[in-house]
Amino acid sequence: MWHVRVHILLCFLSVRAASSQVSQFVTRNGNTLQREGRPFYFLGANAYYLMEQAARGDTATVKALFVTAKQLGMTVVRTWGFFDFPDSLNPAVIQFRPGVYNERALRALDYMLWQARLSGIRVLIPFVNNWDDYGGMNQYVRWRSELAEAPSEIPRYSQRDRARTVVGAKGQSYRVALTEHLGHDDFYTDAIIRAWFKSYLSSLAQRVNTYTGVSYREDPYLFGWELANEPRSSDRSGLMVTGWINEMAAYLKQVDTNHLVGTGEEGFDTGAGRYTFSFYNNQSWLFDGSAGVSFAMNSANSHIDFASIHLYPQSWNLSNAAGNIWISDHISVAAAFGKPLVVGEFGTLSQPTSTYDSWLTTALFDGAAGAVIWQLLEGQRPNDGFGIRCPHDGSVCAVLQSQATRFNAKSVGGSLPPPPAFSLFQNYPNPCLSGRQAFNGQTTIAYDVPGAAHVSVELFNSLGEKVATVVDAFQHAGTRKELLDVGSLPSGAYFYRVSIQPTNGQTASATKKLVIVK
C-alpha cells in the first residue's frame, strides 16, 4: 500500500509540474489572453534592435532595455527575429542564404531571450520584414532570382514597375519589382520561396537556446510569433496575403503548439463597412484594398490567435484624435471573430504625452489585449522621431508607467472598478491653441462613464451650432480621455457636451466651456 501511495504521489507531482509549465505560456480564451489561468493584459515596447546590438557585442544595451521596461511596468517587448542578407562579414545577419544561418547572430537572439527571462518579460518576435530594411521579403525574392530556372517565361514587370516603391509609416520602403519576372508579391506566391520561409519558421521555433537549454517553442518567455512585420501586397482583394497567412500559420502551429501566432499587420482592409469611416478624414485608401491586405479576413483565420494593428496618424493623414477610433473599431472587428487585439506599434510626432494617455485609455477600457509603443530606446540607437528614452522623456515616461500599472491591475482583477457616477471634467489644456504655432493643436476631454453606455461628445460654437462630433459610439465604463483636434478651428469660445445613454440606468449629459486661442 505504501508503494502505491508513493507512486500516486509521484504521478500527481509530475502532472502538476507539467501543467504548471504549460500554464506559464500566454494563451487565448476567446477574445482575451490568459496566463496561469488568469486574464493577461499588457503594455509593452518595441526595441527592434536587441539581437543586432548583442551580435555586435553590445550586451549592455540589451540588459538596460529590459531593466527600463521592467521599471516602467511593461511585460512584453517586441523585437526583430530576422536579418536576411548575403553579407557574411556582418555579425548581426541571421540568414546569409536560404537555410544558411549565422550562429553568432542566433546566439545573440538566444542572449536576448535569456535576458527577457531574467527580467520576467515576454518577447514577441516577427519572422520577416515587409520592408527592405534587414533584408525583408525582397531579399527572398532576390535569392529566388539567382536560381537558374525562371518562375515564368513571360515578363510580368516593366522597367517602370522596377522603379516603383511602396513607402511605409516610418519612411521604410520596398521595391515593387526586382526583375522583369519577379517582384515583392512573389514572396507570397512562389512555391520555392514559401518552402524557404517555412524552413526558417521551423529552424527558429525548434532552436535550443544556448544560454537556457530550452528550445524556443518550449520557452514560456516567448510571448508569441508574428508571421511578418507589416505585410502588404499589390493585390487589392487581400486574398494573396490571406492565403499566405493561412498556409504559414497552419504550418507554424504544427511546429510550435505552445505559442500564440499573429499576423503583424497594420490594420488596413478591403472594405469600409465595419469601420466608422466618417472619422477618418476621407482617407479611403485605408479600407479600399490599396495596401493589399484585409484585416477582417486575416483576423478571421482559425490559425491566428490575436489580431494586430499599428497606428501612425501623421503618416496616414489623420489626426491624433482619429487614433482612438482606429483602436476601438479594430477591437470590435477582432471581437466579432472571437480574437483579442494587440496594438503592435503606435507612435505620434506631436503631443505624445496627452496622445498616448488617450490612446492607451481607449485600448484599456475597450478591451485591447495589449499595446506596444514604438519605440523604447537605449544606448546609442538613433531616434526616428518616435523614440522614447526613460527617464529622460519625463512626462511620456510617467504616462507609460501609469498606464502599465492599470493594464497590470486589469490582469489581476480581470477588470477595473467603474466610476461611481457620470461626471464631466474641464478640458485640458484650456485655453487651447490652434494654428501653425500649435503644430497639431489638440485638447483632451475627460469624463466618467459609470457603466456601459452609448456616448456622444459634441462641440458647439458660441451661436449654438454644432461644429464637430468627437464621439458617437458605445463605450465601456471608465474615465475616458478623448482628443479634440482644434488645429482648424478659429479663435473663440466653444461648448462641448457629453451625453450618455446607459444600457441600464438613466440618461445624463453635461456641458462645459472651451476656449481656443490662435
Catalytic residues: 230, 345
Provide CB contacts within 8 A for 186, sequence distance 6+.
Answer: 141, 144, 151, 193
Query: How far from the centroid of its chain's Cα atoms is residue 483's Cα?
Result: 21
Say how many CA atoms lie within 13 Å of 479 toward its Cβ.
11
Sequence-distant (≥ 6) Cβ neighbours of residue 393 within 8 angstroms:
none
How does DSSP classify residue 130? S
Buried/exposed 475-485: b ≥16 CB within 10 Å, e otherwise: bbbbebbbbbb
Grid cell 485655453 is found at: 431
Query: And the C-alpha cell for 329?
Result: 473599431
3-state percent breakdown (helix, strand, coil) of the chain, nearest 5? 35, 25, 40
- Residue 105 burial by Cβ neighbours in a 10 Å radius (0-12, 13-18, 19+): buried
Peptide bond into 418 cis (omega under 30): no
For 443-505, the DSSP string reads EEEEEEE-SSEEEEEEEEETTS-EEEEEEEEEE-SEEEEEEEE-TTSPSEEEEEEEEEEESSS
Residue 220 is classified by DSSP as: T
The dihedral formed by the CA atoms of 475, 476, 480 and 481, expressed in degrees to the nearest 10? -50
Q: Report d(CA 40, CA 340) in Å as an integer.
A: 11
Rounded to whole angstroms, how far apart are CA atoms 127 and 77? Answer: 15
Q: How far apart are CA 388 and CA 384, in angstroms?
A: 10
User: Using CA atoms, how far apart are residues 233 and 73, in angstroms rounded to an integer?
Assistant: 36
